[in-house]
Amino acid sequence: MTEINMAESTYLNGIESCFQRGNHTLKVPMSLFQNNRKRLIERIKANKKVPDTGTFIILEGGVEIPFNDTDICWPFRQESFFQWCFGVEEPGCYGALDLSTETTILFVPRLPAEYAIWEGKLHSLEDFRKRYAIDETYYTDEIANVLKSKQAILLLTLNGQNSDSGLQTKEAIFDGIDKFKVDNKILYPEICECRVIKSPQEIEVLEYVIKISSDAHKSIMHMVKPGLAEFQAEAAFMHYVYSMGGCRHVSYTCICGSGHNASILHYGHAGAPNNKIMNDGDICLFDMGGNYCGYAADITCSFPVNGKFTEDQKMIYNAVLAARNSVMNAAKPNVAWTDMHLLANKTMLTSLKKNGLLVGDVDEMIEVGLNEIFQPHGLGHFMGLDVHDVGGYLPGHPERSLAPGLRKLRTGRVLQPGMVLTIEPGCYFIDCLLDAALKNPNQSKFIVKEELKRFRGSGGIRIEDDILITETGVKNLTDVPRTVEEIEKWMAKKN
């Protein structure tokens, strides 16, 4: 492949030849994406079903999405597979990889001259080639002709179902694609496998955005006090990760639940937009993560609004913390993620039993699904360019279990070095689930009903860390106060 001298210029006619947001933020070299493309090409070429000669990988980037029928658009975020391959910030692009020559081609929209009035100087094909460390650049209205001139025969396009959302990927389509043979089955599982294992350069970006998000969470813990609105914490987090870390986007809608709202797993949605006033005695469950160069952070901190845990809050928090610690100590290569989920569930239920909320055999509780009553979500998920990153359920790996608790897992895979996941056990008091459990004789016999009453309406606790699987175990990339003592000491230093 053609080597691009990244020292040619940091700036090319006003555009950067790397990704960076201010001198105080991480500079992401385009070699990160060059390396991603190299890994993908090597993986596809190892597939004996794919001929090297005349085969091209074709990806279509994201497009700007209008806000309903208006002439404004939602803030643009690049399509994740395209971002992983090319790191291109502009919408409306296509990319091609020639398997035989390993040449990288970028196709950009041909914009009318008058666009310069609204968007500034229009950049040349050479500008884009240098900026993104690409071998060749053309316009999108030339795709078919360019591929034909390169004797393209087989195009590998992206088509697959995301196992988290259930939605299909966006398959590349362009004028003249009917002139080529198209295979839309091979590429998806192969590129997903590439994304599951992070490169050292990707890990560096993830470490950066997780550190910025950790610092933002710590800043929020200092500012929270009774009388503050949940959305004020959300606004402060978004301001911090953007102003301090260059994160124009967050990776998902911020969850800033307090009191009972802490038991609503995806609180913060349009019908409940983090609008409650936080009261003295409430527990906060704040789940927020910044996004830098497309890479996500996903951190949850749970703490009391007034900075001091009650005995009941401390008991539930420590049960969740024990579950988190058990996984931190046990997770390593060749361990099944399903086993880690069950370990976390068993550890937490054992703590609840020890403190008088439950009675009976913990293994029997799990057999009847009591674990899913108190933690109705999986232990964690892959993370990378998407907060729920791809690769959870692919051919050749364990299928989704139907067992209580396990059926909510976003992956059942065996851990390998280079995987980045969240560990996020939780304990919640969700009325509809508790009501159903109390009516179920197989589950209600384990619940001490009189003890449960005082936890109704108290919300929930979740502790979520972003971790890297190493050769020997786990590296925790998250840096926030975690024990009761650490949280209370940190919050005592309120600004």
CA distances for 52 relative to 332, 385, 398, 420, angstroms: 37, 28, 31, 32
pTM: predicted TM-score of the whole model, two decimal places? 0.95
pLDDT tens figures, 133-188: 999 999 999 999 999 999 999 999 999 999 989 999 999 999 999 999 999 999 99
> What local confidence, expressed as pLDDT, does residue 6 receive?
35
The confidence band for 52, taking pLDDT boundaries of 50, 70 and 90, is: confident
The confidence band for 4, taking pLDDT boundaries of 50, 70 and 90, is: very low
Give the closest residue to 31 by CA, choosing from 61, 11, 4, 58: 4
Write down the mean pLDDT value for the chain: 95
Read out DSSP for 157-182?
----B-TTT-PBP-----TTGGGSEE
Residue 3 has pLDDT above 70, yes or no: no
User: Do residues 153 and 131 make contact, with C-beta atoms less than 8 angstroms apart?
Assistant: no
Stretch (H or E) spanning 465:
strand 465-469
Domains along the sequence of the chain with CATH: 15-196 (3.40.350.10), 200-492 (3.90.230.10)
Show Cβ contacts of residue 343 under 8 Å, excluding neighbours closer than 6 positions.
323, 326, 327, 330
Residue 303 has pLDDT above 80, yes or no: yes
The confidence band for 337, taking pLDDT boundaries of 50, 70 and 90, is: very high
Amino acid at 443: Q
Q: What is the mean pLDDT of residues 9-16?
A: 48
Amino acid at 293: C
pLDDT tens figures, 239-273: 999 999 999 999 999 999 999 999 999 999 999 99
> What local confidence, expressed as pLDDT, does residue 15 receive?
57
Rg for the chain, CA atoms, rounded: 25
> What local confidence, expressed as pLDDT, does residue 47 receive?
93
Collapsed DSSP state (helix, strand, coil) of residue 310 = coil
Question: Of all residues in the chain, what percent carry a pLDDT higher than 90?
Answer: 94
What's the CA gap between 339 and 245, in Å, rounded? 36
Give the closest residue to 462 by CA, choosing from 285, 340, 298: 285
> What local confidence, expressed as pLDDT, does residue 493 receive?
85
pLDDT tens figures, 214-227: 999 999 999 999 99
If you ran DSSP here, which 8-state letter would residue 248 be given?
-
Residue 14 has pLDDT above 80, yes or no: no
Question: Of all residues in the chain, what percent carry a pLDDT higher than 70?
Answer: 96
What's the CA gap between 260 and 258, in Å, rounded? 6
